[in-house]
A and B are shown apart, each in its own frame.
Chain A
Amino acid sequence: MRYYVQRVALAILLLLAVSMLTFGALNVLGDPLFNILGPVAGDVNNPDSIKMIEVAKREFSLDRPLPVRYAIWLSDFVRGDFGVTFSSTGQPPVSGVISERLPRTVTLVAMAQFFAIFVSIPWALITASRAGKVSDRISTLNAFFLVAMPNFALAVILKYVFSIKLGWMPLTYVADDPLRSRLFQMILPALTIGLPVAAVYQRLLRTDIITTLQQDFILLARTKGLSRPRILLLHALRPSLFSFITVVGLNTGALIGGSIVSETVFRIPGIGSTLVESVLRNDFPVVLAIVMIVASSFVVINLLVDFAYTLIDPRVRR
Chain B
Amino acid sequence: MSTTNNSAGNQDEVAKKKLGFGFWLCVTWLALMVFVALFTPLLPLKSPTSNFLDSSQGRPPYAPSWKHWFGTDKDARDVFSRTMHGARISLTVGFSAITAGFLIGGTIGVISGYFRGWIDRVSSFVFVVLLSFPSLVLAILLTSLIERSLLTVSLVLGLLSIAPVGRLARAATMQYADREFVLAARQIGAKDRHIIIKEILPNVAIPMSSLALLGMAVAVVAEGGLAFLGLSVEKGITWGGLIQLGSDASKTLEKAPWISFFPILMLFLTVLSLNFAGDRLRTYFDVKEMTL
Q: A164 in the interface, Cβ–Cβ < 8 Å?
A: yes
In contact, A299 and B134 (Cβ under 8 angstroms): no
The 0/1 profile, CB within 8 Å of B marked 1, for residues 125-142 of chain A is 000000110001000100
In contact, A264 and B229 (Cβ under 8 angstroms): yes
Report the Cα distance A21→B271, complex, angstroms: 32
Q: B257 in the interface, Cβ–Cβ < 8 Å?
A: yes
In contact, A291 and B250 (Cβ under 8 angstroms): no
Q: How far is the CB of B115 from chain A (nearest CB, A)?
A: 22
Q: B153 in the interface, Cβ–Cβ < 8 Å?
A: no
- Which residues in window 196-254 of A have CB below 8 A to B? 200, 203-204, 206-207, 210, 247, 253-254
In contact, A210 and B133 (Cβ under 8 angstroms): no
Which one, B1, B135, B261, contacts A147 given CB within 8 A?
B1
In contact, B129 and A152 (Cβ under 8 angstroms): no
Chain B neighbourhood of A254, CB < 8 A: 134
Chain B neighbourhood of A261, CB < 8 A: 136, 225, 228-229
Report the Cα distance A4→B254, complex, angstroms: 54
Given contacts A14-B132, A140-B5, A257-B135, 17 further A-B contacts (CB under 8 A): A136-B7, A144-B272, A147-B1, A148-B271, A150-B268, A152-B240, A153-B268, A156-B253, A160-B254, A206-B7, A210-B8, A253-B134, A261-B136, A261-B225, A279-B231, A280-B144, A287-B141
Q: How far is the CB of B134 from chain A (nearest CB, A)?
A: 4
A interface residues, tally (CB under 8 Å): 57
Q: A3 in the interface, Cβ–Cβ < 8 Å?
A: no
- Which residues in window 138-191 of A have CB below 8 A to B? 140, 144-145, 147-153, 156-157, 159-160, 163-164, 171
In contact, A148 and B268 (Cβ under 8 angstroms): yes
Most buried by B among A30, A140, A148, A298: A148
Chain B neighbourhood of A153, CB < 8 A: 224, 243, 264, 267-268
In contact, B7 and A30 (Cβ under 8 angstroms): no
Smallest CB gap from A150: residue in B = B221
Which one, A17, A30, A295, contacts B145 given CB within 8 A?
A30
24 A-B residue pairings within 8 Å (CB atoms):
A18-B133, A26-B141, A30-B144, A131-B8, A145-B268, A145-B272, A148-B217, A148-B276, A150-B221, A150-B224, A153-B224, A159-B247, A160-B254, A164-B253, A200-B1, A207-B7, A210-B8, A256-B137, A260-B136, A260-B140, A279-B231, A280-B230, A295-B133, A298-B133
B interface residues, tally (CB under 8 Å): 51
- Which residues in window 95-152 of B have CB below 8 A to A? 125, 128-129, 132-137, 140-142, 144-146
Chain A neighbourhood of B125, CB < 8 A: 17
Smallest CB gap from A151: residue in B = B225
Chain B neighbourhood of A110, CB < 8 A: none
Q: A140-B5, A156-B247 are in contact. Are A21 and B129 (CB under 8 A)?
A: yes
Report the Cα distance A147→B275, complex, angstroms: 9
Report the Cα distance A26→B267, complex, angstroms: 32
Q: B260 in the interface, Cβ–Cβ < 8 Å?
A: yes
Smallest CB gap from B8: residue in A = A132
Q: A30-B145, A145-B272, A164-B254 are in contact. Are A152 and B228 (CB under 8 A)?
A: yes
Majority SS at the chain A contact face:
helix
Q: A160-B257, A279-B144 are in contact. Are A298 and B132 (CB under 8 A)?
A: yes
Chain B neighbourhood of A200, CB < 8 A: 1-2
In contact, B229 and A276 (Cβ under 8 angstroms): yes
Smallest CB gap from B217: residue in A = A148
Binding site for B on A (CB under 8 A): 14-15, 17-18, 21-22, 25-26, 29-30, 131-132, 136, 140, 144-145, 147-153, 156-157, 159-160, 163-164, 171, 200, 203-204, 206-207, 210, 247, 253-254, 256-257, 260-261, 264-265, 275-276, 279-280, 282, 287, 291, 294-295, 298-299, 302
Q: A132-B8, A203-B5 are in contact. Are A298 and B134 (CB under 8 A)?
A: yes
Which one, B2, B140, B145, B240, contacts A275 given CB within 8 A?
B140
The 0/1 profile, CB within 8 Å of A marked 1, for residues 218-255 of chain B is 00010011001111000000001001101100100110
